[in-house]
Amino acid sequence: MDLDLLNRQDEFTWRIEPHGAMRVPAVLFASKELIKAMDHKVYEQACNVAMLPGIVGASYAMPDAHWGYGFPIGGVAAFDPEQGGIVSAGGVGFDISCGVRMLTTGLGKGEVEGVKARLAEQLYRAVPAGVGSVGTIHLSMHEMDDMLRGGARWAVERGWGRAEDLERIEEHGCMTGARPDQVSTRAKKRQQDEMGTLGSGNHYLEVQHVDEVYAEDIARAFGLSVGSIVLSIHCGSRGLGHQIGTEFLKSMAVAAAEYGVHLPDRELACAPVESPVGQSYLGAMRAAMNCALGNRQIITHLSRQAFAKVLPRSDLALLYDVSHNTCKVEQHTVGDRNQRLFVHRKGATRAFGPGHPEIPDPLRPAGQPVIIGGSMGTHSFVLAGTKESERKALSSACHGAGRAMSRRAALKRWRGRRLVDELADRGILIRSPSMRGIAEEAPGAYKDVTEVVDAADRAGLARKVARVEPIICIKG
């Protein structure tokens, strides 16, 4: 990206002044090096989002921002329905409510090292992964509707998890306002056999150990210490979410024209929040969010069973589950007004600061856990939301490293088998049904997650708490 196009506010904050049809500025959070490495498309897309009706504050881009469909991945924007605000399927993304949950295990690294090959095999057998992966669970259409209404709460009620898990999930595991009747039969059929599965792409199930702690007090509140073993699950709403996104992008393109909404890019197809199409999408999207929450809950249950077979004394307790492809109704103070806004986070994580009422009691003084996954074979990080982030970016932070090259380019550069061997030499076991998928997700295909997380920390979006390193990675 050309730095001359930006006004530097401080070391990690850059501003694009409103021009043309922009209603608000665009604000990017990143180091100089990350900004220079960003594709110019991020600049264009951040500006395009700033042109949409009812946008409030600014169009934001996180340190991991890269080109996406309509919104940049790593994009955040809030819309006020009282000012004609819109909802955009492109501002949520296709993998609705894709997210990460982290569990502590009560184990130390030394207890896992000697049995990690057995554990890797148990996890790989327990949790189906890969393109088109299906599990042992088949839901009837009636059961699908129950799941889409109930999310993780539905899963726990059916024995897939613990009641206490729900306190550590956004929305307590169930997104209100879900409308299964707005989800097409085709979308439901795509999901009937996919609950409890990882899928493909950058999704994973990873056993990790904490190798560095930056904030002892917060880490203690989160149950993290150097050498402790954790489990991370990264996946979303699978085929159902993708189908919903595909269908509503088409209907929103029509709706935008009908309501006189000028689209600087057709990929920004949207509809006014209060319109029939807008309300229909919100109902379907919330159902997809429940699908993702239910999916991660079932995978948690399957993972607990796999751990118990190899390490009977393990106790997998949920630290937190946070989504990063959502549109949520939230109260935010923008300028001198407290407003009810529809906050789109696409490839971005909610990051409420200490004391926020949405954070469960044991974690509230520390701030909301923000889990930022690295690429395969690299570190991941746990951060905590800050009060400063509310003012700066609608309580938002980045969600991962962010791609630095396309999957096609990665395939030309790396071979899956060689990557598996190289990571094994480093003590990281990879299990995947696809060598092609491993090559596409090569660590070198992503930005440096440490640089991204440092930028988020120093920009005040979230505070670094701990760093974790993979031991086992089940990859789709």
Catalytic positions, written as ranges: 399
474's CB contacts (< 8 A; 6+ apart) are: 120, 123, 124, 127, 129, 198, 204, 205, 206, 431, 432
For 463, the token pair is: 């505070």
Residue 276: how many other CB atoms lie within 10 Å: 11
Q: With the C-alpha atoms ordered 42, 43, 48, 52, is the resulting torsion angle positive or negative?
A: positive
What is the rounded distance in angstroms from the CA atom of residue 337 to the CA atom of residue 115? 56
Closest Cα to residue 70, out of 43, 88, 51? 88
Chain centroid, CA 16 distance in Å: 26
Place of tokens 């954790």: 230
Nearest-10 crossing angle of helices 238-258, 276-310: 170
For 9, the token pair is: 């506010």
What is the rounded distance in angstroms from the CA atom of residue 245 to the CA atom of residue 187? 10
- Contact in structure between 222 and 370 (CB atoms under 8 Å): no
Classify the phi-psi angles of 63: left when phi > 0, otherwise alpha if psi is within -120 to 50, otherwise beta: alpha
Burial class (CB in 10 A: 0-12, 13-18, 19+), 110: exposed
Pairing between strand 26-29 and 55-66? parallel
Alpha-carbon Rg of the chain, whole angstroms? 21
For 178, the token pair is: 């879900």
